[in-house]
Amino acid sequence: MRTPIAYFLMLAGILFAMGTVGVLVNRNALRIFMSVELQLNAVNLTLVSFARMHSDLGGQVLAFFSMVVAAAEVVVGLAIIVSIYRRRRTIDVDAAREMRW
């Protein structure tokens, strides 16, 4: 028995909504960063669900490349957050806006 695709899409929608709320509400850069990653994982779940429904590997390949790009984003994003923390001793997003390079 196969699980209906609606379950996966509902879960992906809930995860994406939680990520969106996290981006809009939080002021902590790490929490915003984790919320964006949650949104990316929701999109990957949707891609894999549709790929499974259509018995096509294209969505799974696209989700794989999305995970590779997300891993590179994590490296760059965390480096920026560490740099801001070393300068300001805080990871508050409002403090980063006041920085002049």
Q: What are phi and psi of 41, to 5 degrees?
A: -70, -35
Name the nearest CA neighbour of 49 among 38, 68, 62: 62
Q: Is residue 23 part of a domain?
A: yes
Residue 98: pLDDT band (50, 70, 90) is low
71 within a domain of the structure (yes/no): yes
Does residue 53 sit within a domain?
yes
- The helix/strand/coil state of 88 is helix
Domain-embedded: residue 95: no
How many domains are contained in the chain?
Answer: 1
Average confidence score pLDDT of the chain: 88
Structure confidence at residue 36 as a pLDDT band (50, 70, 90) = very high
Q: Is residue 93 domain-resident?
A: no
- Is the full-model pTM beyond 0.85? no
Average of per-residue pLDDT across 68-83: 88
* 98 lies in some domain: no
The dihedral of CA 4, 7, 10, 12: what is its sign? negative
The domain in which residue 26 lies consists of 5-88
3-state secondary structure of 28: strand
Q: Is 40 inside any structural domain? A: yes
Strand partners, 92: 28
Q: What is the pLDDT of residues 57-75, one digit of tens each?
A: 888 899 999 999 989 988 9
Q: Is residue 47 part of a domain?
A: yes
Structure tokens belonging to residue 36:
């964006």
